[in-house]
Structure 1
Amino acid sequence: MVECEELVKIYKVADIEVMALQGLDLYVEKGELMAIIGNSGSGKSTLLNLLGGLDRPTAGKLFVDGKDLLKMSERDLVRYKRETVGFVWQNNARNLIPYLSALENVELPMIFKGRIRRQRARELLDMVGLGNKADRKPLELSGGEQQRVAIAIALANDPKLLLADEPTGSLDTATANVVLDVIRELNRQLGLTTIIVTHDLRLARKVDRVVAIRDGKTSSEFIRRVDSGDVRTFEEEEMEARMSEMSHQELAIVDRAGRVQIPRDYLESLGISNRLKIKLDDGKIVLLPPEGKQKKTG
């Protein structure tokens, strides 16, 4: 469904250029449910904006459902945003029109596609558990209910890709779990490819794959597995504490040129700065400090 290769995005502010994405590689299968995590400024939201057609890449390759987003005309891009992708924002003010009912909010995207399908709008509200509140306006709904209406809106035109930017960021734990369960059920029920950008580590329990982005590049990923046991975890202390409870396997990302991004703290623990030794040892790739710079122990 999604193919990103050497994806680059550069923003220019005055005379300063900021490289938000620095050759990012990412592949997402149809029907997959995955989360993208990383520190602030790592490039998560930039990637989501590119996938959603809200911004254009500077360089690289970006295909969604076979469509080349670098070569799209403005007219095709409008059609793509209307028909191929659905978006859920963290801020409900961006998701909902306050003076419209929940049902009318879900119907609104259908207008831009040419016709309102009221029965389909009601079905979507039923699917997110709000069929009995179709006539309520946003201010008459809780934060979690508003976010579930937002999910129904994102699905109004039957998109092939659902993008969610921090969908639980403003919700308490119990409400966030309800919203995440709704997203997971829709993913399973509809076979809907779903990508969630988040800081919320609770998502690791709800998704099939977690991709970590560092400095504008995919650096590692966690794939859900059936077996349990020891699991190597993301370098941040909070991630290590939470993810260690999960049955996930961590994998480093190797790009097409054979490059792998190694966490800085791993290198520092070995006393490695900008050079290292690499060798094959009994079927393993071993990274070592240069001669004379091995870290002393004991």
Structure 2
Amino acid sequence: MIVCENLVKIYKAADLEVVALQGLDLKVESGELMGIIGNSGSGKSTLLNMLGGLDRPSAGKLYVAGKDLFRMSGRELVQYRLRTVGFVWQNNARNLIPYLTAQQNVELPMLLAGKRKRERAVELLDLVGLGHRRKNRLGELSGGEQQRVAIAIALANEPQLLLADEPTGSVDTKTAALILDLFQELNRTLGLTIVIVTHDMALARKVERVVAIRDGKTSSELLRRKNDDLPQEEEEHEELAVLDQAGRVQIPREYLDAIGASGKLRIEREEGRIVLLPAEE
């Protein structure tokens, strides 16, 4: 569903250049439910904006559902945002129009795509558990209910890919768990590909794979390991470093500090292993 190869994004403001992504590699399979984590400024939201067709890469390759987002015209990007991808924002003000009812909000993207289907809007609100609140406006819904309406809006035009930027960032822990359960259910029942950007490591218990971005690169992946002896909420995970196309790997700072490494490392091959040692003075 998603292929990113050596993806670079540079923002320019006056004489200042900020490199948000520095050769990021990522592949996401069709029907996968996965998370992206990273510190503030790591590039995760920049990546999501490019996957959503809201921003263009500076260099590299970016394909979503077989479409080359690097070469799309402005008109093609509009159609892509309307029909291929759905977006759920952390800030509900970006998801919902306050003077419309929940049902009217869900109908709006269908109207923009030239196909108003009232029955489809009601069906989607039922799907997210809010059929009974379809006549309510924004001020009459809780934060969690607003976010579930936002998910229904994102699904209105039957996208192939659902993107969520910190979807649980503005709700309490209990509501966050309900929203993540909903994503899991949508992935299972609709076969929808879902990518969630978050800073919450609890997300790792809800998805099969979590990709960590550090300094604008894909640095590691956290994979769920099946263990029938453990309850689901305590499942084991295995963290793997990501080797990019140039053979580069990012070593976490705490690992380097533990061996007193700075500046340069000695690399040795030993019985099928690669060993990193602090450089001798």
Q: TM-score range by the shorter chain?
A: over 0.9
- Tell me, yes or no, if the aligned pair for 1:228 and 1:247 is still in contact at 8 Å: no
- Tell me, yes or no, if the aligned pair for 1:39 and 1:214 is still in contact at 8 Å: yes
Question: 2-side partners of 1:92 and 1:267: how far apart?
Answer: 41
* Count of residue pairs brought into register by the alignment: 278
Question: 2-side partners of 1:264 and 1:66: how far apart?
Answer: 37
Where do residues 82-161 of structure 1 align in structure 2 (5 Å cutoff)? 82-161=82-161
- Tell me, yes or no, if the aligned pair for 2:226 and 2:235 is still in contact at 8 Å: no
Name the residue aligned to 2:78.
78
Q: CA deviation at 1:253?
A: 0.3
* 1:8 has 2:28 as partner: no
Question: 2-side partners of 1:12 and 1:228: how far apart?
Answer: 51
Tell me the TM-score normalised to structure 1 length: 0.90
- Tell me, yes or no, if the aligned pair for 1:23 and 1:216 is still in contact at 8 Å: yes
CA RMSD, 1 decimal: 1.5
- Tell me, yes or no, if the aligned pair for 1:204 and 1:246 is still in contact at 8 Å: no
Question: 2-side partners of 1:192 and 1:85: how far apart?
Answer: 11
Structure 1 pair 245–286 and aligned structure 2 pair: CA distance change class (3 A): farther
Where do residues 268-287 of structure 1 align in structure 2 (5 Å cutoff)? 268-287=257-276
Question: 2-side partners of 1:245 and 1:159: how far apart?
Answer: 32
Name the residue aligned to 1:196.
196
- Tell me, yes or no, if the aligned pair for 1:221 and 1:253 is still in contact at 8 Å: yes
Q: Deviations over 1:11-57 (max 9, x none)?
A: 01111000000111111001111111111000011000000000000
Q: Deviations over 1:110-163 (max 9, x none)?
A: 011111111111111111001111111111111100000000000000000000
* 1:217 has 2:217 as partner: yes
Q: After the TM superposition, which of the residue ranges 165-174 and 271-280 deviates more from structure 2? A: 271-280
Name the residue aligned to 2:170.
170
Q: CA deviation at 1:283?
A: 1.7
- Tell me, yes or no, if the aligned pair for 1:106 and 1:152 is still in contact at 8 Å: yes
SS state of the match for residue 147, structure 1? helix
Structure 1 runs of 4+ aligned residues shifted over 3 Å read none
Question: 1-side partners of 2:162 and 2:41: how far apart?
Answer: 22
Q: CA deviation at 1:205?
A: 1.2
Question: 1-side partners of 2:173 and 2:254: how far apart?
Answer: 31
* 1:255 has 2:244 as partner: yes
SS state of the match for residue 148, structure 1? helix
SS state of the match for residue 246, structure 2? coil
SS state of the match for residue 156, structure 2? coil
SS state of the match for residue 158, structure 2? coil
Question: 2-side partners of 1:33 and 1:146: how far apart?
Answer: 22
Q: Deviations over 1:58-111 (max 9, x none)?
A: 001100011111101111111111110000000111100111111110000001
Question: 2-side partners of 1:203 and 1:28: how far apart?
Answer: 17
